[in-house]
Amino acid sequence: MLYLKKYFTEGLIQFTILLSLIGVRVDLDTYLNNQLPPLREIILGPSSAYTQTQFHNLRNTLDGYGIHPKSVDLDHFFATRRLLNQVRSLDHLRLPSTELSAWLVHRDPETVVSATSQSGPSIALDNGGSLEDVNNSEASAMRGAGGATETTYSPSGEDSLGAVAPEDIQEQADRETSDDLSKEDIDLIDILWRQDIDLGAGREVFNYSSRQKDSKAGKPNEENEEAGGREENWRNGLYLQAVQSLTHVDGETGESIPEELTSLGAQTSLSLQECLRLLEATFPFGEESEFQNSSSTSQLTAPTEETPSTSQGLPIQAPISQSDTPLDLEQQWQDIMSIMELQDMEVNNTAVNVTTNNDSNNNNASTTESATSFGVLPSSLINQDVSLHQASLPSCSQDFPTLFNPELDSTEGQRPTLVRLSSSNSSNINSTFGTTNLTGLFYTPPLNSSTNLSTTPVLPDPFTSLLEESMLDEISLLDLAMEEGFSQAQASQLEDELDSDSGLSLDSSHSPASPSNSETSCSSAASSSSTSATFSEEGAVGYSTDSEAATVEAEEGAVGGCQPEYSKLCRMSYQDPSQFHGIPQLESVNHNHTYNLPLASPYSEHSQLSASSSKKGRDKQIQQTKLQPPQDFIDRQTSRDERRARAMDIPFSNEKIINLPVEEFNELLAKHNLNEEQLSLIRDIRRRGKNKMAAQNCRKRKLDTILNLEQGVQDMRRDKARLLKERMEFIKCIRQMKQKVQNLYQEVFAQLRDEEGRPYSASEYSLQYGPDGSVLLMPRSMTTEQGHKPEKKQKDKKK
């Protein structure tokens, strides 16, 4: 459990850092300051072994004696301060809050009304929520493995288990101070909650709503705090819902997504993951034919209903599939990535191709539908009869319904469409479709062209940036993947492995987690292997590294800390020197990680080389110090040079010999009358001492280099996996488009009649698409002969 929390913590911190880098304000202080038990435990960990600060501090101040290194108070204090300062150190990176929901809303050309909602912190909070949630889900599995150990560290004593039920989380969240939430937002959130409950959502999921109302009646001066807590509650609830929808809306469905968007997009900031899920669900790949009926039914309920699972009648409290969630997240993110890129292309092309035709009926329908799907228009505008698919596929599939919808085809509405198709004059030839120019077929009819196009050029930017932030998603996805894939067996396995005190092994920890994670991480068949390997490696690496540090720290803490262990700690301390910024004693501790700054100790004469043996040896030595006279301990601790120096009656410490600058060193030698033998020994001591430190630094650098290379390999593997997934998505989209083109072809061909009103034989004639966008009916014999020069028989250049 300890390692799990360590992992969660690091993941969260990394995520926080990334969020800060992209301008999303992250405020973990509220969580930490208010001692939200589950999250606090996740972040801070229950044990002093988590932080590397305690033992150093003990060593510096008390030299490791007298205070139990596992002291809960010390735990709490140092861990909290450490993390707080770590987060605060991000201040300089903070940028104005980014409204993720705006990114989403602006995505749709037809979405004119953008949702102005809460800003960034929701991401962190959502992330925290997800952590909590996962923690909850895992807690049941972990309790048997020792989750009860956390109870000791619950400061308030109100938690009987390490993993707290969602209600507890909410309860804590209610007490927390969070970012501001306007009164209107709060009210609307309440409304949404009530609707959720009215719609049949599991009461247990929304239990916080009652507290919400309670808190609402709280003191006025606590309004912000209440709002913050409420928002967190709501977010947590949303997270559950989002996971539910994620679980059930897997690209094959997605009916309820517009509802979700309606509420989410309009009212709140969404976590990035939620946004992505919603985006993906809003832009399913060509599934419109499946939802034509279901979507209308799913929207028969209140316009502002927000829970897809509720509207679908799915059990809201259904256990979240631990194996599916990360997959879906990953998958959906990849989908969005691919969609957005496709949309970028589409946007450009649309601007060129939208030139004619305004079918008012289609126009209105499309407008309303799009608005509905994006949930940004007033709820009154939601058309319950709207087919979701028509509005939800701006990239690959959105345009096809208007072209392929049987209703349209059967009416006169098809004619303008086809005419436009034939007249569309794109010069782009998609090689995927051969030389035939089908580009025009894929562009949206100029419905709402005037209004949509005005917003269209703006669209790609936020999403381009979002694309560039894919690493953010990687982190979260990796975290989730690890969370989900981290079974009890794996945890115990890791724990065993880490307890083996194998030191810093780069790869040893990969193997245990990888296989099982692979099972849960792979999403697409083509890229499953690489993806899973990436995820598992990533997670395992981070986990093992941190846990190693924690293990070492625990050991060091018990021993009192010694320099030679630096190599094991260098990853954490070296990479984040500002970790303890603001805490003087911890800063000094942090600096002590440098070999060039040997510590001063009561046994200063022996301090430099006192750490001459391994950890276990020092353990024994510590044991001995409590049982034996100090002189004996000194004898055992001293190095050869120390002993030689004492034997030669060197009048100053080896530390001085080694670390004094040349001038001072020479002065020191000059001050004392030393014989040649002593001088030689002193110089040797200085040389060896410096070389020892140099060797240590050298090894550290070597290790860092190796680790950096390792990280680079992992990054590249991750990129590779991501690109493979994107490729798969593109291929999938292209396949769907091909199918739709084929369908259109068949429909058009079936409607063609010759002079006598008879249909053409498909075996004798075929439609050809001219380079100018025209559609020509040609005999198949000519088709084979002339290939792509169908200019002879322009019988039906229609539509």
Partner DNA sequence: GGACATTGTCATATC
Partner DNA sequence: CTGATATGACAATGT
Dihedral sign (CA 345, 347, 348, 349): positive
704 counts as binding DNA under rule CB under 7 A: no
Q: Which of 81, 94, 143, 699 binds DNA (CB under 7 A)?
A: 699
Question: Closest approach of Cβ 551 to DNA, in Å?
Answer: 12
Question: Closest approach of Cβ 508 to DNA, in Å?
Answer: 8
Question: Closest approach of Cβ 197 to DNA, in Å?
Answer: 56
Backbone angles phi, psi at 278, to 5 degrees: -65, -40
- Return the range that interacts with DNA (CB under 7 A); candidates 44-52, 439-447, 579-587, 608-616: 608-616
CA angle 505–507–508, rounded 5-degree value? 70
Q: Interface mask (CB under 7 A) for DNA, residues 577-596, using x and -? A: -------------------x
Burial (CB count within 10 angstroms: exposed 0-12, middle 13-18, buried 19+), residue 702: exposed
Which amino acid, residue 216?
Answer: K
CA distance 166 to 172: 10
Question: Closest approach of Cβ 12 to DNA, in Å?
Answer: 28
Question: Closest approach of Cβ 613 to DNA, in Å?
Answer: 4
Assess contact for 388 and 768: CB atoms under 8 A: no
- Return the range that interacts with DNA (CB under 7 A); candidates 200-208, 226-234, 288-296, 563-571: 563-571
Residue with Cβ nearer DNA (223 or 501):
501
31 counts as binding DNA under rule CB under 7 A: no
Which amino acid, residue 121?
Answer: P
Q: Which of 224, 614, 624, 794 binds DNA (CB under 7 A)?
A: 614
501 counts as binding DNA under rule CB under 7 A: yes
User: Residue 371, Cβ neighbours under 10 Å: how many?
Assistant: 24
Assess contact for 175 and 229: CB atoms under 8 A: yes
Contacts of residue 400, Cβ cutoff 8 Å, sequence gap at least 6: 286, 288, 393, 442, 737, 740, 744
Name the CA dihedral angle for 502, 506, 507, 512, rounded to a multiple of 10 degrees.
Answer: 60
Long-range contacts of 414-417 (CB under 8 A, 24+ apart): 414/799, 415/798, 415/799, 416/356, 416/357, 416/359, 416/445, 417/357, 417/359, 417/445, 417/799
93 counts as binding DNA under rule CB under 7 A: no
178: left (phi over 0), alpha (psi -120 to 50) or beta: beta
- Return the range that interacts with DNA (CB under 7 A); candidates 67-75, 206-214, 491-499, 691-699: 691-699
505 counts as binding DNA under rule CB under 7 A: yes
Q: H-helix or E-strand containing 766?
A: strand 765-769
67: left (phi over 0), alpha (psi -120 to 50) or beta: beta
689 counts as binding DNA under rule CB under 7 A: yes
Q: Which of 134, 391, 541, 609 binds DNA (CB under 7 A)?
A: 609
Which amino acid, residue 336?
Answer: I
Question: Closest approach of Cβ 588 to DNA, in Å?
Answer: 20
Residue with Cβ nearer DNA (91 or 676):
676
503 counts as binding DNA under rule CB under 7 A: yes
DSSP-derived letter for residue 526 is T
Residue with Cβ nearer DNA (204 or 632):
632
- Candidates 467, 243, 443; CA nearest to 335 is 467
User: Residue 17, Cβ neighbours under 10 Å: how many?
Assistant: 18
Question: Closest approach of Cβ 619 to DNA, in Å?
Answer: 7
Question: Closest approach of Cβ 695 to DNA, in Å?
Answer: 4
Secondary structure (H, E, C), 68-128: CCCCHHHHHHHHHHHHHHHHHHHHHHCCCCCCHHHHHHCCCCCCCCCCCCCCCHHHHHHHH
CA distance 386 to 399: 15
- Return the range that interacts with DNA (CB under 7 A); candidates 104-112, 197-205, 578-586, 611-619: 611-619
Question: Closest approach of Cβ 611 to DNA, in Å?
Answer: 5
43-62 residues near DNA, rule: CB under 7 A: none
692 counts as binding DNA under rule CB under 7 A: yes
564 counts as binding DNA under rule CB under 7 A: yes
Query: How many of the chain's residues bind DNA (CB under 7 A)?
Result: 42
- Return the range that interacts with DNA (CB under 7 A); candidates 32-40, 324-332, 419-427, 614-622: 614-622
Question: Closest approach of Cβ 634 to DNA, in Å?
Answer: 16
The helix-helix angle for 488-499 and 2-21 (nearest 10°) equals: 100
Question: Closest approach of Cβ 697 to DNA, in Å?
Answer: 5
The helix-helix angle for 2-21 and 37-44 (nearest 10°) equals: 90
Question: Closest approach of Cβ 644 to DNA, in Å?
Answer: 9
- Return the range that interacts with DNA (CB under 7 A); candidates 14-22, 105-113, 319-327, 685-693: 685-693
Question: Closest approach of Cβ 666 to DNA, in Å?
Answer: 8
Question: Closest approach of Cβ 638 to DNA, in Å?
Answer: 10
CA distance 445 to 363: 9
Question: Closest approach of Cβ 703 to DNA, in Å?
Answer: 9
- Return the range that interacts with DNA (CB under 7 A); candidates 83-91, 325-333, 693-701, 777-785: 693-701
Residue with Cβ nearer DNA (140 or 680):
680
Question: Closest approach of Cβ 561 to DNA, in Å?
Answer: 12
701 counts as binding DNA under rule CB under 7 A: yes
CA distance 38 to 154: 9
Contacts of residue 509, Cβ cutoff 8 Å, sequence gap at least 6: 494, 497, 498, 540, 541, 543, 544, 545, 548
Structure-block tokens of residue 380: 């009154």
Name the CA dihedral angle for 281, 286, 291, 295, rounded to a multiple of 10 degrees.
Answer: 40
Q: Which of 289, 612, 714, 794 binds DNA (CB under 7 A)?
A: 612
Residue with Cβ nearer DNA (157 or 661):
661
Please state whether beta strands 775-779 and 765-769 pair in parallel, antiparallel, or not at all (unpaired).
Answer: antiparallel
- Return the range that interacts with DNA (CB under 7 A); candidates 55-63, 68-76, 180-188, 495-503: 495-503
Residue with Cβ nearer DNA (611 or 741):
611
Question: Closest approach of Cβ 510 to DNA, in Å?
Answer: 14
- Return the range that interacts with DNA (CB under 7 A); candidates 144-152, 441-449, 488-496, 610-618: 610-618
CA distance 242 to 227: 21
What are the CA-CA distances from residue 516 to residues 239, 520, 728 (Å)?
Answer: 25, 7, 24
224 counts as binding DNA under rule CB under 7 A: no
68 counts as binding DNA under rule CB under 7 A: no
CA distance 346 to 108: 12
Residue with Cβ nearer DNA (248 or 700):
700
Q: Interface mask (CB under 7 A) for DNA, residues 615-654, using x and -? A: xxx-xx------------------xxx-------------
Q: H-helix or E-strand containing 778?
A: strand 775-779
Q: H-helix or E-strand containing 779?
A: strand 775-779
Residue with Cβ nearer DNA (564 or 779):
564
94 counts as binding DNA under rule CB under 7 A: no
- The residues binding DNA (CB under 7 A) are 501-505, 564-565, 567-568, 596, 609, 611-617, 619-620, 639-641, 661-662, 665, 684, 686-692, 694-699, 701-702
